[in-house]
Structure 1
Amino acid sequence: MSAETPVQSAGTFARLRRRFRDWRGTRPFWAGLFTILGGVPIAYFPYATLKLGTMSLTMATTAGAGSLIIGVLLITLGLTMWFQHATRVFAGVAAIILALVSLVVSNIGGFLIGFLLAMLGGALAVAWVPGKTEDTGMGPRAAGQGPTGEGAAEPAPESAAGEPGETHLPYGTGDGGPADGVRSEARNGGYRVG
């Protein structure tokens, strides 16, 4: 082994860390984590037995099954936020509702620990918005250049005030018909405006 040989373990760890960071950045990771962490105390405390010397303290109540169901549902919603991030709004609202129900059903929401974590996770899931994809510069719109040569669209004519007119895309009718929705989606990166 020479001094120029790279250490494999450092490269593997850095690559795994980078892959995890990329995976985490494409989904509401913290929302799912807080929701899962909120479900654990809500499900655990009603079945826990605390030993204080020779005395054992049990928190089991008649609502133990309800606490277990709420905790398991919160853990499932947290995993849903990670792996089905398209349903993040539904999962966030459901987590908030279950956290509120846990106040009454599950020992004040797992002694407020589970309640606060689940509320925070649900709020983060509702507020999370997917990031914009970076443009690689490969398309004609990326560099602000259109195609050149024969068959290329001509620039829009200028209005009387000297401002460029509306650019005419190869699709759409411009009369407010259904093709205008397609054109507005193309202008806004795939998001429908109006």
Structure 2
Amino acid sequence: MSAETPVQSAETFTRLRLRFRDWRGHRPFWAGLFTLLGGVPIAYFPYATLKLGHMSIAMATTAGAGSLIIGVLLVTLGLTMWFQQATRIFAGVASILLALVSLVVSNIGGFLVGFLLALIGGALALSWVPDKPQAEAHGHRESSGGPAGDDARKGAAEGTGGEAGQPHPPYEDGDLGETDGTRIEDRDRGHRVG
């Protein structure tokens, strides 16, 4: 082993962490995670058997198949939120509806744990909005503060309107010129007001 191995390992971990962060940032990650985790207790509790000494307690209901279907659908909707972001609205609404149905069908929604997780996941999916494209975000930033924005401000101060072909900024009636005290609209017309 060389002395560089831990550094390479740290770089690999950092690179993987940054890739995961980038992947997570382009999708409703938390919505999918909450929805997926909400489906687990809803599907699990009706089939679980708890042993207390020699006594076994079964929490099975008559609608055990319905609980399994709701749980599997919630897990599927959580994965859909991760890998098909275009369907996030449908997945969010379906998650909320399935969470509400699980209150009646599946042991009070997986003892309220699965219900609350699925409800929060559905709400997060409905509220998530994708990022703006990079070109649009950079273009907006340049016009407000970058070098192009500085040129536009200089041009506006000189009365040229910034870049070529841009009109003068709108003037308010009664604006006074900076140097000679004339009204701007009168100076544009060639009149001087004392």
TM-score (structure 1 length as normaliser): 0.71
- Residue of structure 1 equivalent to 2:101: 101
- Residue of structure 2 equivalent to 1:185: none
How big is the shift at 1:161?
3.3
Distance 2:4 2:50 in 1: 57
- Residue of structure 2 equivalent to 1:29: 29
- Residue of structure 1 equivalent to 2:142: 143
Q: 1:120 aligned to 2:120?
A: yes
Across the two proteins, how many residue pairs are aligned to each other? Answer: 156
- Residue of structure 2 equivalent to 1:161: 171
Please list every run of 5 or more consecutive structure 2 residues that lacks an aligned counterpart in the other structure: 150-162, 173-194
Q: Which amino acid aligns with 1:143?
A: E
- Residue of structure 1 equivalent to 2:7: 7
Q: 1:42 aligned to 2:42?
A: yes
Distance 1:66 1:160 in 2: 65
Q: Which amino acid aligns with 2:165?
A: P
- Residue of structure 1 equivalent to 2:191: none
Work out whether residues 135 and 142 of structure 1, in 8 Å CA contact, stay in contact via their aligned partners in 2.
no
Distance 1:127 1:65 in 2: 31
Distance 1:136 1:78 in 2: 30
- Residue of structure 2 equivalent to 1:92: 92
Distance 2:105 2:65 in 1: 9
Q: Which amino acid aligns with 2:61?
A: T
Please give the root-mean-square deviation of Cα atoms over the aligned residues, in Å. 2.7
How big is the shift at 1:156?
3.0
How big is the shift at 1:135?
4.3
Structure of higher CA gyration radius: 2
Work out whether residues 109 and 115 of structure 1, in 8 Å CA contact, stay in contact via their aligned partners in 2.
yes
